[in-house]
Amino acid sequence: MSMEADIFRLRGISAPRAKTSLKARSRRGAKALAEALLPTSLVAWREPGTRRGQGGAGRVALTFDDGPTELTRDYLAVLERYGVRASFFLVGELCARHPELVLAIQRAGHEIAGHGYTHRRFTNLGPRALVDELERTRALLPGEAGKRRVVRPPHGSVSLTSTVTAASAGYTTVLWSYDSNDWATHRADEVAATFAEHPVDPGEIILFHEGQTWTLDALPRVIERLRQAGHELTTTGDLLGR
C-alpha cells in the first residue's frame, strides 16, 4: 500500500537508472550544485567526504520511507535475521495510527526520523505548515528519536525555502545518494538487479520504501550483495554524525 506508487518521486534527485534526458541531466546539475553549496548540516545526500564512483568498501546506510505499514514487522524480521540496523523515515499520521509499530521499530534498535506528517511535498507548504508537520511528527517518535531533529522530505522534494525553513527549526534534511528504484517496479528481481548493475560506493545513503512485498523479497539479496562487496551496513545517523 505505497501511498505514492503512482507519483514520480525523483524531483530534484538523480537516480542511477534515470534516463539521461535533458531534464534528468539538468536535475543532476542542480543537485551537484546544491551538494557543493549547501553544508551537510543542512542537507545530506551521503556520508561527508565520500563521492560517487570512488569504489572500494565502506559504510552505507539502508533507509526505508513511508512506514509504518502492515509489512513493517516483516521488514524488521529480515533486518534482524541479518543483524542490520537501518533508518526508518516515518509518516506522522501513520505513526499516530500505529504507535505499536513505531515502538517495534525502535525496540529493534533501528533509527527513526520523520517523513512529514501528511506526506505532502514540503515545497507546497508555507513555512508555518511545514514546521507544524515537522514538530507534530517528531512528537510521535519515542525516546531519542523524539529529540533528534532530522527529516526526509516526502518525494525528496526540496527548495531553498523549504530547506531553510527546516534548518531554521533545527532540522537536518537527509536525502539519498542511491535510489533502489523500488518505487518504479513491483518485481523483487528488478530491485535486486539495480544493485547488480550499479555498484554501491562507500558512504551511500540507499533509498527503499516500506509496505512493498517486492522490496521485502529483494532485501535479503541486496543485503548479501552489499556485504559481499565488503560494505558495513548502518544508519544515516552513523554516517552523518547526527
Residues of this chain that bind Zn ion (CB under 5 A): 65-66, 154
Question: Minimum distance between the CB of residue 197 and Zn ion, rounded to whole angstroms?
Answer: 24
User: Which CB sits closer to Zn ion, 6 or 197?
Assistant: 6
Task: Give the residue from 124, 121, 123, 146 showing the smallest Cα distance to 136.
Answer: 146
Helices (H), the chain: 22-37, 72-82, 92-97, 99-107, 127-138, 160-168, 188-197, 213-228, 236-240
The conformation of residue 168, written as its DSSP 8-state character, comes to H
Residue with smaller CB distance to Zn ion, 114 or 154: 154
Task: Determine the Cα–Cα distance for residues 217 and 65; give it in Å rounded to an integer.
Answer: 16
Nearest distance from C-beta of residue 176 to Zn ion, angstroms: 11
Between 155 and 231, whose beta carbon lies closer to Zn ion? 155
CB of 29 to Zn ion, least distance (A): 24
The distance of closest approach from Cβ of residue 134 to Zn ion in the complex, given in angstroms and rounded to an integer, is 15
Q: Judged by CB, which is closer to Zn ion: 65, or 182? A: 65
CB of 231 to Zn ion, least distance (A): 24
Query: Which residue number, 60 or 175, has a Cβ lying nearer to Zn ion?
Result: 175
CA dihedral 113, 119, 122, 128 (to 10 degrees): -80
| Nearer CB in complex with Zn ion: 66/204 | 66
Closest distance between Zn ion and the C-beta of residue 65, in Å?
Answer: 4
Mind spelling out the 3-state secondary structure of 12-54? Answer: CCCCCCCCCCHHHHHHHHHHHHHHHHCCCCCEECECCCCCCCC
Which amino acid belongs to residue 49? Answer: G
